[in-house]
Structure 1
């Protein structure tokens, strides 16, 4: 569950990073997280959470109970509702555009992205050159901090899902 304290603690985890670019989803929770973490973020609408269409605002448990099977947005998709919803591939296309923007900044320094769990899991899959559905295999907690970068010129996860109880020390391998 998101709390203001988690956002402040996440900010402590990134103290010392030299951010060349800080971007946030336009949604209030992400903007507030950035603020509480002490990050001055530019809003990027491409970082908005996955549009769940007719499943928006509902829990996975409730959707599964209604559908009668082990539903996942990653594998089964969403249905039309007040909004049309997005496929995992459409979310990945947005994530790819964000990566096109941030990769040049990563050459000279660090980049911070403040966004939403499912979206960031898909962005990570795209960064790692995996299928977008690979994001289903990655756990990401609210208020956690992760570090993506390169190991021997290959995209890599350097630190993942670090919460306030764990120090954030990227691997140097």
Structure 2
């Protein structure tokens, strides 16, 4: 089973460098084009289904990709929602630096909780789709820290519209690419 995380396309808040988190902000035109561009990146693999976070930016990205690849648009999984940034959601980097220079925002969801949710989603997707090659559209922080946990190494920020592939081999996961770039294969438990 091969899977791929795809970060949703750009939103106005991404463009304005505002912290989105779990706030439901729609794609902008650049984001829609990034979703169409991802179709070319995904070509060459027999993708069968695409699922997503329920947030509109992820759901629309998934719909655009499903149409472009001619594959099934599966359900949204609540566990794939982006990290909740509490009081900092909607704030710019300048406001965050002024109010929370330590990055400890009131109401901030822990990274461990985000990775636990994402891992639960991966188990649900695996149970529902078995050996089908599955695309998963979700969010940058969730993708970055989940892949870091699976691979046992740190990854850089995840770009809008980028693809990260990984596969399940029995009970183990192997991360194959991040931000559209192949990485050294690292088998993990």
TM-score by length of 1: 0.72
1:9 maps to 2:37: yes
Q: Report SS of the residue matched to 1:42.
A: strand
8 Å CA contact retained: 2:174, 2:185 = no
Q: How far apart in 2 are the matches of 1:62 and 1:119?
A: 23
Q: How far apart in 2 are the matches of 1:50 and 1:14?
A: 26
Q: Which residue of 2 aligns with 1:53?
A: 86
Q: How far apart in 2 are the matches of 1:68 and 1:139?
A: 20
* Alignment: residue pair count: 153
Identify the structure with the greater strand proportion: 2
8 Å CA contact retained: 1:55, 1:63 = yes
Q: In 2 relative to 1, CA 150–63 (structure 1 residues): closer, same or farther, beyond 3 Å?
A: same
Q: Which residue of 2 aligns with 1:165?
A: none
Aligned partner (choices 139, 142, 148) of residue 119 of structure 1: 142
Select the structure with the greater relative contact order (CA < 8 A; seq sep ≥ 6). 2
Q: In 2 relative to 1, CA 42–116 (structure 1 residues): closer, same or farther, beyond 3 Å?
A: same
8 Å CA contact retained: 2:150, 2:175 = no
Q: Which residue of 1 aligns with 2:27?
A: none
What residue ranges of structure 1 are gaps of 5+ in the alignment?
Answer: 163-167
Q: How far apart in 2 are the matches of 1:123 and 1:66?
A: 28
Structure 1 runs of 4+ aligned residues shifted over 6 Å read: 168-173
Aligned partner (choices 78, 87, 110) of residue 87 of structure 1: 110
Q: In 2 relative to 1, CA 172–67 (structure 1 residues): closer, same or farther, beyond 3 Å?
A: closer
Q: Report SS of the residue matched to 1:64.
A: helix
What residue ranges of structure 2 are gaps of 5+ in the alignment?
Answer: 1-8, 11-29
Measured against aligned partners, the alpha-carbon deviations of 1:44-90 in whole angstroms (never above 9, x if no partner) come to 11111111111111233421232345x3xxxx4x313xxxx422121
TM-score by length of 2: 0.67
Q: How far apart in 2 are the matches of 1:119 and 1:110?
A: 20
